[in-house]
Amino acid sequence: MGEHIIKLPDVGEGVAEAELVEWHVKVGDLVREDTVLAAVMTDKATVEIPSPVDGEILWLGAEIGDTVAIGSPIVRLKVAGEGNVKPESSPAAETIKVEPPAKLATPKPEAATPAQKASPAAGEAKARPAPSPASPKSTTRSTVSGAPRAEGEKPLASPAIRLRAREAGIDLRQVAGSGPAGRISHEDIEAFLARGPQVARISGLARNDAVEDIKVIGLRRKIAEKMTLAKSRIPHITYVEEIDVTALEDLRAALNKEKRADRPKLTLLPFLMRAMVKSIADQPNLNALFDDEGGIIHQHGGVHIGIAAQTPSGLVVPVVKHAEARDIWECAAELNRLAEAAKSGTATRDELSGSTITITSLGAMGGVATTPVINHPEVAIIGVNKMMVRPVWDGTQFIPRKMMNLSSSFDHRVIDGWDAAVFVQRIKTLLETPALIFVD
């Protein structure tokens, strides 16, 4: 038998490190060749790491959320044959994360060990506290003063007492115990009830002081970093405009009804994408990336539209490349393909990068108006709000119209307020008169 070390491979595009976001195995597992061991993330692409050999997992070299350098050992296996590790190359004992066995030594009477304080058993032991030099002060406070316990201090009571308190709607933290170390008895409950309800009666409602610490890792950490960068470095200007999409919705319904079997169903987004392409033709400075450190605006000819999409793992932005070269149905087909890849987690790094302008939409959850955050280093983002039927005055009477707001943000270092307004008004004209979208 031998040992085989698996190192983090180069996951592409010259990255020097990756974040470990998931382990698919644990120490002691038997794995076959090509079994997925772990998942790592670079930028917004997640890559699975398979095992190149059969073997038994001996050691895992990182924890979830750790950033691991390319080429660092991440897994050690026991394998048939010699493996790829020489006996003298075994890692030092201190580098291998092995939990030591629990010690069964008898604790000293004068103080509890840290392990006892941290273990569940120690929590149970509080119900039967032994006298110690440190306890008289707290015991005296509870039994002599009869004061309620301090915030976060757990009352000492038997299961029967706790059940009685719950049924009576009593918060045990408000009851002064007369037993050893402030332990609460039935007599204490009766004495408390005799004093009246006061603040103890909680009518079935109880405070929850629990605090859960959740480590920010993986995609959520990438999103946090991206949002912090965008909001700290880009001075946003947001422009909200109302759009009458009644004619557009009628056209969309007609096209879907008469569409060929090989064409996808049209949503509003492909029409918006084509309207953006036509508007960018008049204002190419909107289709740009701003290198604020170098002081350079990279103005692109190709219109690569990112579509902010919510997935089970979090927010991702798949990109429809070269929207200027796609018609309505081609835009819709590519949108469907990318949305499915994003939701299933199979979208590639290339499909999740390279946008030059972004659309964000929450559909029916879109609200009346929003303040979308620009996808740095882009200079503009178009936010789609929910569509509602509202009465609109046509000069003689109120008529029902399908209305929708566009909430758009722009990098004010690059885009002036006037230019932002002209851009949105051009999109408004195209969406309100949708036949113009099809005119070259």
pLDDT per residue over 173-214, tens digit each? 888 888 887 889 989 988 888 886 555 455 567 778 888 999
- Given 244, 292, 412, 419, which residue is catalytic? 412
C-alpha closest to that of 383 among 252, 192, 236: 236
Show Cβ contacts of residue 48 under 8 Å, excluding neighbours closer than 6 positions. 36, 38, 39
Task: Give the model confidence (pLDDT) of 381-430 as tens digits.
Answer: 999 999 999 999 999 999 999 999 999 999 999 999 999 999 999 999 99
Helix or strand holding residue 162 (H, E):
helix 159-168
Q: Which domains does the chain have, with CATH numbers?
A: 2-92 (2.40.50.100), 137-208 (4.10.320.10), 231-438 (3.30.559.10)
pLDDT for 147 beyond 80: no
Joined together, the tokens standing for residue 325 give 């070269």
Q: Which residue has the higher pLDDT, 11 or 311?
A: 311
The average pLDDT across 76-104 equals 61
Element housing 6 (H / E):
strand 2-7
The reply to whether 412 belongs to the active site is yes
Region 28-44: what's the mean pLDDT? 88
Displacement of CA 435 from its chain's centroid (Å): 40
Q: What is the pLDDT of residue 197?
A: 56
Instruction: Given the residues 10, 282, 327, 416, select the one marked as catalytic.
Output: 416
- Tokens read off for 78: 């026991």
What b-and-e string marks burial along 368-380, b requiring 16 or more CB atoms within 10 Å of the CB? eebebbbbbbbbb
pTM > 0.75: yes or no: no
Reported in sequence order, the residue ranges of 165-318 that DSSP labels E, i.e. its strands, are 236-244, 288-291, 296-299, 305-311, 314-316
